[in-house]
Amino acid sequence: MTTAVLNWGTLMMTYFSALTDPDMAFLRYALFAGLLAAPAFGIIGTYVVAKRMTYLAGAIAHCVLGGIGAALYCQFHYGLAWLTPMLGAIIAAIGAALLIGLVSLRSRDRVDSVIGAIWVLGMAAGIIFIAKTPGYIDPMSYLFGNILMITGRDLLTIALLDVIVIGLGLLSYNRMLAVCFDEEFARLRGIRTELYTLLLLCLTALTIVLMVRVVGIVMVIALFTLPAATASHFSSRIWQMMLLATLLGLISVTGGLALSYGLDLPSGPAIVMLAGFFYLAVIVGKGLKSRLS
């Protein structure tokens, strides 16, 4: 037990010293990206969990690969240097959010099949685009994250998206709360619920883009659901859930990157594992508590 504590201590120490190392800029960038993204994930993740839209968020995340692939393809074949993978990801995410939103609002039946199709087609398109783009591009780094790819410019984009997401997420708090709690009643009160659903999906899309570099397309959804679901066990108000989810996100990102650096683990999985550990610990703890009492 003591050795474990000691190891954890040295691990954090070497991690923090590495953060100040000028040769380790990527580590700082990854941490900044994670810290910037945590509040957005806390706020939007809470709405997504409360409105039970995790499946829709998953579909949006996977469509992002289509946008990244298309951007890489166009950059190479048409010389569109401005069409960065980040921009491609943003366009694809917003496009997928609107498409999925309209399908789930308008389609009468088999909504889950249609969304499943969008999920897979978006991803397949991305793989095909990447395969048809010469040069060494590893789809794995987009699927599971690669902090070595984060640039200072990405960080700036992340900060900008972050401001938009947090601003809109908090400004629409009361309306969003009404729509998440009882959509039919909200509509009867004259709230344009479809508009708010689409807004929430678009904010979800932008939040996904924030962390795609760090944890990748496949696992980004975990950062939506795990902190918010863990927080829901200790919250009696939505804003408490947001605050707690943000805090859990911050801890998961910092701790996960430290683990990844100290133990030489891939960073995305390390972050997600830590977030998952908190969630399972709370579930098991609650279960034990209710059995004992």
Partner 1 sequence: MKTTEPTLSSVVPAIQCEQVSFSYGELPILTDVSFTIQKLDAVALVGPNGGGKSTLLKLILGLLTPQTGTIKVLGLPPQQGRQKIGYMPQHLQYDPSFPVSVMDVVLMGRAGSSGLGRYSAEDRRVSMQSMEELSVADLASRSFNSLSGGQRQRILIARALACGPEILLLDEPTANVDPAAHLQLFEILKQLTNRVTVLTVSHDLGFVSQVVNRVFCVNRQVKVHPTSELTGEVIREMYGGDVRMVRHDHCCSELGHSHDDIL
Footprint of partner 1 on this chain (CB under 8 A)?
50, 52, 171-175, 177-178, 180-191, 232, 235-238, 240-241
Instruction: State which residue, 86 or 176, has the beta carbon closest to partner 1.
Output: 176
Shortest Cβ 53–partner 1 spacing (Å): 12
Instruction: State which residue, 91 or 238, has the beta carbon closest to partner 1.
Output: 238
Instruction: State which residue, 79 or 190, has the beta carbon closest to partner 1.
Output: 190
219 within 8 A of 62, measured Cβ to Cβ: no
Exposed, middle or buried, 157 (CB in 10 Å: 0-12/13-18/19+)? middle
Residue 239 burial (CB count, 10 A): 13
Shortest Cβ 183–partner 1 spacing (Å): 7
Shortest Cβ 188–partner 1 spacing (Å): 6
Instruction: State which residue, 41 or 142, has the beta carbon closest to partner 1.
Output: 41
Shortest Cβ 63–partner 1 spacing (Å): 26
Shortest Cβ 235–partner 1 spacing (Å): 5
Instruction: State which residue, 141 or 235, has the beta carbon closest to partner 1.
Output: 235
Shortest Cβ 43–partner 1 spacing (Å): 14
Instruction: State which residue, 16 or 185, has the beta carbon closest to partner 1.
Output: 185
Shortest Cβ 132–partner 1 spacing (Å): 44
Instruction: State which residue, 11 or 177, has the beta carbon closest to partner 1.
Output: 177
Query: Alpha-carbon distance 263 to 179, whole Å?
Result: 44
Shortest Cβ 231–partner 1 spacing (Å): 9
Exposed, middle or buried, 237 (CB in 10 Å: 0-12/13-18/19+)? exposed
Identify the helix (H) or strand (E) that includes residue 148.
none
214 within 8 A of 30, measured Cβ to Cβ: yes
Instruction: State which residue, 77 or 110, has the beta carbon closest to partner 1.
Output: 110
**CA atoms 120, 123, 96, 269: torsion sign:** positive
Query: Alpha-carbon distance 290 to 261, whole Å?
Result: 38
Query: Alpha-carbon distance 166 to 203, whole Å?
Result: 9
Distance of CA 208 to the CA centre of its chain: 4
Return the ∠ at Cα 266 (arms to 1 and 20), rounded to 5°: 80
| Nearest Cα to Cα of residue 270 among 40, 15, 6 | 15
What angle separates helix 267-292 from helix 193-232, to the nearest 10 degrees? Answer: 70
